Structure 1
Amino acid sequence: MRWLAFGTYDVHRHPRVGVLIEGLRAAGDEVVEVNVPLELDTAGRVAMLRQPWRLPKLAWLLARCWTLLAVRARRAPAADAVLVGYLGHFDVRLARRLFRRTPIVLDHLVSAAGTARDRSLTASGGGGLKSKLMRWIDRGALGSADVVVVDTDEHLAALPADAAPRGVVALVGAGQQWFAARPDARPGGPLKVIFVGLFTPLHGTSYLGEALAELAGDDRIDVTMVGKGQDYEACRAAAAANPRVTWIDWVTAEELPGLVAAHDVSLGIFGTTDKAQNVVPTKVFQGAAAGCAIITSDTAPQRRTLGDDALFVPPGSAQALAAALRSLADDPALLAAYQAKAAARAVDQFAAATVVEPIRVRVGSTSTQPPAMQETR
């Protein structure tokens, strides 16, 4: 098949679409990218929702990107399907107008309404103008797609009744650079633990900060915290008693696989929000691919995805998280076993070519006309 990867996605900020493109190519498909990254990350978009008077800036940035996308789309070869990358809630509407007879595949990794609730932008009951706006954004995006890609069964079940038949589940997975970063051996010494994230309620970093405080005085465990965000200050304040924590604002996408792979343990999420119960975070797939042992919250999608190949702790339990880290510091053989199990599962289930297979099967059954017949611009 020939795919057109389309939109304002940024593979450095949001690697999911990069994994899908890599997987399609690894499976033997051709992928042509028509991509003009929007110069605004997720935190910036959230800030605009908190301060609506900044929305004209988003409209201007989006209009600039869309103008370039439309020009480049006209020059692109005909395709069997169009893949709209993650955070494509608006891009998919443009794609629908540009490629009227070509199947449109939307990577709907998160809903606008769910993200707004998780970040306390809207009321939990779903009332209010912002909640209605978020639902309108989601409905329009889903209505513009022929195939809706989600990452867990829980997200599939949450799709509206009219979109659910068009849904397909594809794990987030990890790119080849994460597998390549895996070291042949790790040196001894203190247990090296890493967390990478945006410090949102989904991540549960307030509980992580409490766990780090409990580990204060334990010179067998060193922790690296990468990123900044909504709950950063609270997390850092909670962990202030622990001098064996290193705080890094961020690292580049090129450097990140090597940094994570240099650690023994990669931490997942520990939040108690509704969203936290329904996701398997990108960092879990990446950490496993890099050969780290995984510790994350005990939720249905993470249990289903990781099986017995990770350590699970109750969401929101700082005490359980601290105990899990101590158990690995106490027992190098146990640590090595969990590292090996996570790495083996990643090779078997999380590689890019594997995670795209459900999408290719679904689109193959959706697309029946040759590209030249499908597409009118």
Structure 2
Amino acid sequence: MSVPAPLAGEEPGLRFDGVPPLSLYVHLPWCIRKCPYCDFNSYEARGALRDFAYVDALLRDLRSELVLAQGRRIETVFLGGGTPSLFSGPAIARLLGGIRAEADLVPGAEITLEANPGAADAGRFAAYREAGVNRLSIGIQSFRDEQLRALGRVHGAAEAGAAVAAARGAGFDNVNLDLMYGVPGDDVAGAVSDLERAVALEPAHISWYQLTLEPSTAFERRPPRLPDDGVVANIEERGRALLAAHGYARYEISAYARPGRRCAHNLSYWQFGDYLGIGAGAHGKITRPAEHAIERRAKTRNPRTFEATAGTSGAVSVERIAARRAAALEYLMNALRVLEGTPVRAFVARAGQPDSAIAGARAAAVARGWLGADAAVLRATPAGLEKLNRLLELFA
């Protein structure tokens, strides 16, 4: 959904009383093989990975971005990709050591690293733990070999289970497993069996999401045959019940956690927190109270170009959002994904406008049964979550 242009006569500028919490996203763009469903800025690694050269570029980028932070503390760090677990333990240690030296991290900050079973082992996990990573997110996707092949994954079912065991052996007790449903050849029994395998491993968190065919991917160009809507609905009903029965509370459209194990980094995104983005193709968001605007920043996508220009103005493009409608829509695109919704006071503080600015659209959404009627909370109903894009169109 595109950001709307200001309406004629719309009040310009946003009004902020303060700034939201700040996070750091670090993009490590290489992978063993590009998956056919992936629309992230990722590249197949050919030859030896220049991980130390890239880390040095990341730290130059960080130093330039920290000017925007103006002394604010960083509450979470997320190393995403690509496949960050392709990076050696010493490279991750240099990266996190540099982040600690340059930035002010809160004590006990959540530091997540994404890993894939085909690009990780016990020794590497132990090195990451020693470097300061305290949360692993493992891209399992399925425990069935046929589905893994259909998804273009480089690992098999046995490696998936072994990766979780290796993480535990390295001392990680905060582990997320990524799983997909609605994949080629999927059925209710198979999808539920994936979840049964996952909960038996007792991870702290499970991200369980439906495969979608994204633009500019191999799957969009050559669409695979996917299960029909009825099968997907049955998978969702059975899967959500199974997860709840095993103590995984659904708190966002695709996120399920044991008590106290929600992903702090992703929650900050969904609650419209600020974040610095470093690395090739990384995005950032910074609230600018003095300028009555929100600043969106995007880094150059090509890794080699990024390495050459990191820390300079040539590595980043900037967009300013100062119109109320645009800020409101961006806020709600994130916040309404969370099942408990968002307090109206948080909308006022972080979208920089009074709640009266969205009163008409909100009333229309309540009338359709897509938003709850509680005046103090903006919360999508179950019907609203199922029709989230249509709900958001009311605010566009």
Task: Return the TM-score normalized by structure 2.
Answer: 0.33
* Structure that is richer in helix per residue: 1
Task: Return the TM-score normalized by structure 1.
Answer: 0.35
